[in-house]
């Protein structure tokens, strides 16, 4: 009864303030719906050195609808609360291959003190970063673009421009400061990097068991923190400069029902060590990026250090990989061309050679009309790994049936080259 009375009193005291803010809100801008989106049909022609591997990704041609998205953005504004801009966004993928087509759902609140975003959306490690993908045309080129839909992955090679442990659109809270003297900072808190939407935390069954609904098969982070700082400025002489630092830090846990791990061994006969505790190292990764533009020219670069993020603690001498990438581009009238290069290197463990990738990209883009573009992108990827590590992957694939999840997601692939050309168009509105 005491709690009820206290609650009633608090509500009664708050009503005048609520009424005051409500009247102020009425004087603001009524929320309005804005719709935007894009869609890109692409035709890929490619050759892979190991065409028989990876469950059919080496057929030589590929037609896909990529980067399909439509955004429903509701925006409102009021003079209350320091001139608050508020809204929510629902981003829907148009990928007919997916059963869950909602990619993003979040609210945003913005005033003179900064912006808060809560929901299933990207973190500051994603949208505050700058790098060579802002220079390259086509699909973004190499490790940043849609080449990953067709290339042949080599065992142990890190072929990605994302920080290891990135939460993507997991449920999170973002805070971004206002921009001051060109600088802006942000922080992201993701309670559980595998949680999306309204997934329940736990449920109790009749037999007394407790189930965590979003417990994933792959490593995930709890209480993950993302940080970002960037600088953007255009100087009087026309020089445009962008710089960024982004990082991820989280308590990493291994996947569902994983009580042991299979580790490669440089000394064992079958390159395999069994019955190793499956604890993995925490996420500690960062990236430095830059883009400079002047009179139609742009140069960009990025360095990624993933540290030992997600690596088994029992495996010695391994890491999650480093990435070095750069691009140069030139735009004139309705045309733009760009060239890019990426190098990734990852230590597989003591006694093994590094797994490496070198990726070269050329792009050409042409604007036919406002919102309508055409492009052609060429990629060449050269991947190398240690043959003993490939034997390790193959050994795990041939183990008992309880390793089906490993078999389904890994192929034992040695050194592999991929040559690919992508021809596509894009409509944005």
For 195-237, the pLDDT digits (tens) are 888 888 777 666 666 666 666 667 889 999 999 999 999 999 9
- pLDDT given at position 212: 64
- pLDDT given at position 281: 92
Bridge partners, 168 (sequence order) = none
**Residue 174 in this model has a pLDDT that exceeds 60:** yes
> Residue 323's closest CA among 140, 105, 101, 163?
163
Bridge partners, 339 (sequence order) = 328, 362
**Residue 70 in this model has a pLDDT that exceeds 80:** yes
**Rounded CA separation 187/114 (Å):** 12
Selection from 52-61, 191-200, 342-351 with the highest mean pLDDT: 342-351
- In Å, how far from its chain's centre is CA 248? 12
pLDDT: which is higher, 403 or 77: 77
pLDDT: which is higher, 80 or 124: 124
Between 49-63, 163-177, 404-418, the lowest mean confidence (pLDDT) is in: 49-63
> Residue 226's closest CA among 185, 197, 254?
185
What are the backbone dihedrals phi and psi of residue 3, each rounded to the nearest 5 degrees, phi first?
-65, -35
- pLDDT given at position 291: 98
**Residue 16 in this model has a pLDDT that exceeds 50:** no
**Residue 256 in this model has a pLDDT that exceeds 90:** no
- pLDDT given at position 261: 65
- pLDDT given at position 213: 66
**Average per-residue pLDDT in the chain?**
85
> Residue 340's closest CA among 363, 321, 357?
363
- pLDDT given at position 260: 62
**Residue 399 in this model has a pLDDT that exceeds 70:** no
Q: How confident is the model at residue 59 (pLDDT cuts 50, 70, 90)?
A: low
Q: Model-level pTM?
A: 0.86
pLDDT: which is higher, 9 or 171: 171
Domain 41-65+114-428, what architecture? Answer: Beta Barrel (2.40)
């Amino acid at each position: 009864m005491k709690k009820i009375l206290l609650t009633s009193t608090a509500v009664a005291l708050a009503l005048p303030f609520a009424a005051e803010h409500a009247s102020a809100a009425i004087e603001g801008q009524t929320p309005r719906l804005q719709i935007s989106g894009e869609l890109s049909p692409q035709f890929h022609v490619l050759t892979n050195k190991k065409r028989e591997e990876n469950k059919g990704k080496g057929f030589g041609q590929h037609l896909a609808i990529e980067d399909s998205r439509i955004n429903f953005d509701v925006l409102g504004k009021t003079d209350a609360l320091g001139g608050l801009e508020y809204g929510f966004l629902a981003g829907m993928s148009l990928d007919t291959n997916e059963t869950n087509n909602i990619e993003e759902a979040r609210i945003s609140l913005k005033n003179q003190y900064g912006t808060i975003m809560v929901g299933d959306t990207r973190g500051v490690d994603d949208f505050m970063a700058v790098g060579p993908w802002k220079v390259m045309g086509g699909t973004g080129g190499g490790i940043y673009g849609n080449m990953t839909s067709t290339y042949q992955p080599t065992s142990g090679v890190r072929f990605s421009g994302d920080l290891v442990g990135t939460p993507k659109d997991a449920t999170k809270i973002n805070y971004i400061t206002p921009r001051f003297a060109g600088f802006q900072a942000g922080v992201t808190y993701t309670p559980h990097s595998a949680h999306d939407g309204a997934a329940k935390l736990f449920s109790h069954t009749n037999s007394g068991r407790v189930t965590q609904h979003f417990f994933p098969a792959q490593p995930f982070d709890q209480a993950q923190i993302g940080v970002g700082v960037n600088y953007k400025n255009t100087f009087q002489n026309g020089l445009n400069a962008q710089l960024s630092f982004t990082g991820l830090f989280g308590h990493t846990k291994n996947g569902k029902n994983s009580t042991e791990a299979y580790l490669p061994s440089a000394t064992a006969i079958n390159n395999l060590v069994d019955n190793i505790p499956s604890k993995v190292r925490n996420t500690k990764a960062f990236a430095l990026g830059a883009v400079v533009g002047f009179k139609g020219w742009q140069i960009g670069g990025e360095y990624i250090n993933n540290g030992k993020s997600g690596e088994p603690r029992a495996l010695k001498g391994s890491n999650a990989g480093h990435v070095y990438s750069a691009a140069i581009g030139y735009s004139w009238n309705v045309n733009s061309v760009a060239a890019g290069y990426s190098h990734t290197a990852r230590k597989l463990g003591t006694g093994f050679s590094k797994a490496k990738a070198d990726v070269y990209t050329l792009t050409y883009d042409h604007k036919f009309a406002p919102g309508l573009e055409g492009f052609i992108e060429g990629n060449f990827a050269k991947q190398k790994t240690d043959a003993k590590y490939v034997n390790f992957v193959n050994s795990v694939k041939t183990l008992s049936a309880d390793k089906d999840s490993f078999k389904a997601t890994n192929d034992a692939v040695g050194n592999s080259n991929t040559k690919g050309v992508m021809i596509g168009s894009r409509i944005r509105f």
